[in-house]
């Protein structure tokens, strides 16, 4: 998508954004202050350089295996309507890009499509967690879960945010959280306080933990590079 977009008469133009700019990337929704990106002024599109080069126009996605998803734009006229990501259940702002199945009205944030289907959490080493549609409460914070969340074979369940926060602090915090997760997943009788992160940074944290594995599993060993470029753009905002 680096040089063109959905209007065949327009091309995306390389753009350097000033530090004081109020522009945000229409794919990852992060700030573009001081960054190099691509824009189309006629269509009011602004994109990080990394995002415009990484996200393809069509993808296959594990959460919707029946149809190909197409990179589409939420119409600006959608102000006042609720468009939600079917994975994280957060709002899709008018003018932003989503991956969409028009047949099923399935929509997902581009950043959410980067989440791994399976994760391993050191504090719960017995099983891997797999993202599946299910119901229940989070074993860590005990709050209600969206339809899609991480579940392990022993029925422990985690929000994307709670899974990304495990082991992210210092070693002492890791040990304490490990005890809390073990207790919560076995008895669900205690809750821990989990800091509320913005969705995009929560997902970026999760992806940083898995990017090395992505690179190792890639045939060329280079797959993680554009992923890290996108994440660097998210964290720099």
What residues are paired with 72 via a beta bridge?
98
* Spacing of C-alpha 35 from chain mean position: 21
Query: 67: pLDDT confidence band, cut at 50, 70 and 90?
Result: very high
Pairing relationship of beta strands 64-73 and 58-61 according to DSSP bridges: antiparallel
Alpha-carbon distance of 57 to 73, in angstroms, equals 11
Q: Go through the domains of the chain in sequence order and give each one's CATH number.
A: 1-113 (no CATH), 118-187 (3.30.60)
pLDDT value at residue 226: 52
Mean pLDDT across the chain? 71
pLDDT value at residue 134: 87
The residue-averaged pLDDT of 89-99 equals: 84
pLDDT value at residue 229: 58
Alpha-carbon distance of 71 to 9, in angstroms, equals 18
Neighbours of 125 (CB within 10 A): 10
pTM: 0.67
Alpha-carbon distance of 155 to 136, in angstroms, equals 10
Query: Residues in the chain, how many?
Result: 237
Range name among 35-39, 148-152, 173-177 with the lowest pLDDT average: 173-177
The residue-averaged pLDDT of 203-217 equals: 51
Residue 175: which residues within 8 A CB-CB, separation 6 or more? Answer: none
Alpha-carbon distance of 100 to 218, in angstroms, equals 26
Tens of pLDDT, residues 1-33: 545 555 556 678 888 888 767 788 888 877 877
């Amino acid at each position: 998508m680096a040089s063109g977009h959905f209007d065949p008469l327009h091309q995306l133009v390389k753009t350097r954004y000033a530090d004081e700019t109020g522009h945000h990337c229409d794919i990852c929704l992060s700030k573009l202050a001081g960054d190099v990106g691509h824009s189309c002024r006629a269509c009011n599109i602004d994109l990080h350089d990394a995002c415009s080069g990484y996200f393809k126009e069509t993808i296959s996605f594990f959460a919707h295996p029946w149809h190909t998803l197409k990179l589409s734009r939420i119409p600006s006229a959608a102000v006042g309507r609720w468009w939600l990501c079917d994975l994280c259940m957060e709002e899709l702002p008018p003018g932003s890009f989503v991956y969409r199945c028009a047949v099923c009205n399935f929509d997902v944030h581009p950043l959410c499509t980067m989440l791994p289907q399976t994760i391993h959490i050191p504090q719960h080493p017995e099983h891997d967690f797999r993202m599946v549609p299910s119901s229940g409460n989070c074993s860590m914070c005990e709050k209600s879960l969206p339809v899609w969340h991480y579940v392990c074979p022993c029925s422990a369940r985690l929000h994307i945010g709670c899974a990304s926060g495990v082991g992210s602090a210092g070693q002492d915090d890791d040990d304490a959280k490990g005890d809390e997760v073990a207790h919560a997943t076995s008895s669900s009788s205690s809750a821990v306080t989990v800091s509320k992160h913005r969705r995009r940074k929560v997902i970026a944290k999760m992806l940083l933990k898995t990017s090395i594995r992505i690179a190792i599993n890639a045939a060329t060993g280079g797959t993680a590079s554009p992923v890290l470029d996108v994440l660097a753009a998210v964290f720099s905002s």
